[in-house]
C-alpha cells in the first residue's frame, strides 16, 4: 500500500510518539522511511540580518548540526527496527519544503507530529502540520503529542 513514507522531524522533545508511528508504518508496509529535516530559512535570515550579525555567529551551523543529530537519531532507531532509511537535510520554509519533497520523492504517506497548544498560539503562528495536511496530495497521518512530552 505504501512504498515511501516521509517523516519530517524538527528534533524537538515530544516527537518520540510520531517517530515510533513512522517507523512502525514503514515496518508494517515494508516501505522505505524518508526522514527529512528542514533548516528554516526564515530563522537563518532573521539571525543573519544586519541587526543580528554580532550575536548570531554560527546560527546556521547550529541549526544544521541540530538537523543532522535529529536525522541520525531517527535513522538509528529505524535501522534497529530493520527499516530502510533515507535522510535528507534541506533549507527553506518547512511546510513548502516538505510539500516539495513529497512531490519530488513521490511519497505515499507522510507521518507528522502535532503538539497540542493553546488556541491563541495556533491562531498566531499557525502549524506546519496543518498546512502540510491541507495541501499534500498524499495522505498525512498526524500523531498528537503534548508540549510536555
Query: Can you give the pLDDT of all 149 residues of the chain as single tens digits?
Result: 899 999 999 888 778 899 999 999 999 999 999 999 999 877 766 666 555 444 455 677 888 899 999 999 999 999 999 999 999 999 999 999 999 999 999 999 999 988 765 555 555 445 888 899 999 999 999 998 765 54
Domains and CATH numbers, the chain: 4-146 (3.40.50.12370)
pTM of the shown model: 0.85
107: cell is 511519497
Which residues does 15 contact at the CB level (< 8 Å), separation at least 6?
Answer: 9, 113, 145
Distance (Å, whole) CA 147 – CA 85: 27
Map grid coordinates 500500500 to a residue. 1
Amino acid at each position: 500500500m505504501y512504498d515511501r513514507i516521509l517523516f519530517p522531524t524538527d528534533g524537538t522533545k515530544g516527537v518520540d510518539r510520531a517517530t515510533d508511528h513512522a517507523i512502525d508504518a514503514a515496518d508494517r508496509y515494508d516501505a522505505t522511511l524518508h526522514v527529512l529535516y528542514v533548516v528554516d530559512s526564515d530563522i537563518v535570515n532573521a539571525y543573519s540580518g544586519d541587526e543580528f550579525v554580532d550575536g548570531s555567529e554560527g546560527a546556521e551551523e547550529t541549526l544544521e548540526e541540530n538537523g543532522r543529530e535529529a536525522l541520525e537519531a531517527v535513522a538509528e532507531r529505524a535501522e534497529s527496527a530493520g527499516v530502510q532509511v533515507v535522510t535528507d537535510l534541506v533549507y527553506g520554509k518547512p511546510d513548502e519544503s516538505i510539500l516539495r519533497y513529497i512531490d519530488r520523492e513521490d511519497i505515499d504517506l507522510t507521518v507528522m507530529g502535532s503538539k497540542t497548544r493553546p488556541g491563541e498560539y495556533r491562531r498566531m503562528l499557525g502549524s506546519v502540520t496543518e498546512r502540510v495536511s491541507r495541501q499534500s496530495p498524499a495522505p498525512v497521518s498526524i500523531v498528537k503529542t503534548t508540549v510536555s512530552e
